[in-house]
Chains A and B, each alone.
Chain A
Amino acid sequence: QVQLVESGGGVVQPGGSLRLSCAASGFIFSTYGIHWVRQAPGKGLEWVAFIRYDGSSKYYADSVKGRFTISRDNSKNTLYLQMNSLRAEDTAVYYCAKDQIRNGYNPDAFDIWGQGTMVTVSS
């Protein structure tokens, strides 16, 4: 079935780095835009970043711009989030989520989400 599985979370010190992965299965990964969305403990949802299906465009929330980098390897059906200069306020569950429409060139709703991976930034 259609599935997204995140990995790579953990505990990291402020200023440190971490790379998250999101493995996709059950759909043609190379034809869908994919997002990272996070949720701090007890808080609401915050969109983090998006990459178009072919990697041609990337967008970031202001809160992570310049520190986080989204990328994808369509040959491995995998999405990545490289997180540098981490701060305490980056502590959250990080979800990957796919666009609803194939080969989209416009913003879209998120129809499939992974189970999330927890990132804790603490000394």
Chain B
Amino acid sequence: DIQMTQSPSTLSASVGDRVTITCRASQSINSWLAWYQQKPGKAPNLLIYKASSLESGVPSRFSGSGSGTEFTLTISSLQPDDFATYYCQQYNTYSYTFGQGTKLEIK
């Protein structure tokens, strides 16, 4: 199976900050990568698909980049609603795997 590794596991930041979360795949997944946001007690919400495509309705402060094995999710200016846990997911094969998650906390 393809392993997905996110860093950092926890990130402390302030409203207005620019933050970046990294996701690495154990082998090339081309651009078949998605990013999800999850808030406590809620289902995940799709933010980015195909590494850099913004899902409809998602604010433009979210962006994704990368291909092959290295990917990033960037939030250009943190808003109070953005403090949550973020997961990357590969869908290169029918053995989907998620990263372990990055918890974005208020500094």
Give A47 to B98 CA distance when docked, in angstroms: 8
Task: Output the nearest chain B residue to A101 by Cβ-Cβ distance.
Answer: B49
Contact across chains for A109 and B34 when beta carbons are under 8 A apart: yes
* Whole-angstrom CA separation of A97 from B32 in the bound complex: 17
**Minimal beta-carbon separation of B89 from chain A (angstroms):** 7
Identify which of residues 42-73 in chain B touch chain A, using a CB-to-CB cut-off of 8 Å. Answer: 42-46, 49-50, 55
Distance between Cα atoms of A59 and B95 in the complex (Å) = 8
Q: Which residue of A lies closest to B49 (CB)?
A: A109
Residues in chain B near residue A46, CB distance under 8 A: 98
Q: Kindly list chain A residues whose C-beta atoms are within 8 Å of the C-beta of B36.
A: 45, 110
Q: Is the CB of A113 within 8 A of B98?
A: no
- Which residues of chain B are within 8 angstroms of A44 by Cβ–Cβ distance? 87, 98-101
CB pair A61 B95 closer than 8 Å? yes
Q: Which residues of A contact B10 (CB under 8 A)?
A: none
The answer to whether A95 has its CB under 8 Å from any CB of chain B is yes
Q: How far is the CB of A7 from chain B (nearest CB, A)?
A: 15
Q: Give the residue of B42, B49, B50, B98 whose beta carbon is less than 8 angstroms from that of A45.
A: B98
Q: Which residues of chain B are within 8 angstroms of A109 by Cβ–Cβ distance? A: 34, 46, 49-50, 89, 91
- How far, in angstroms, from A68 to B45 measured CA to CA in the complex? 25
Task: State whether A47 touches B96 (Cβ < 8 A).
Answer: yes
Kindly supply a per-residue 1/0 record for chain A positions 46-63, scoring 1 wherever the CB is within 8 Å of any chain B CB and 0 otherwise: 110010000000010110
Q: How far is the CA of A61 from the CA of B98 in the complex (A)?
A: 12
What is the bound-complex CA distance between A107 and B100, given in angstroms? 20
How far, in Å, is A65 (CB) from chain B's closest CB?
11
Give bound CA distance, A116 to B43, whole Å: 7
| A110→B92 contact, CB < 8 A | no
Question: Contacting B94 at CB < 8 Å: which of A45, A59, A115?
Answer: A59
Residues in B lying within 8 Å of A, measured CB to CB = 1, 32, 34, 36, 38, 42-46, 49-50, 55, 87, 89, 91-101
A residues whose Cβ falls under 8 Å from a Cβ of B: 35, 44-47, 50, 59, 61-62, 95, 97, 100, 107-111, 113-116
| In the A-B complex, the 3 residue pairs with the closest CB atoms | A113-B43, A109-B49, A47-B96
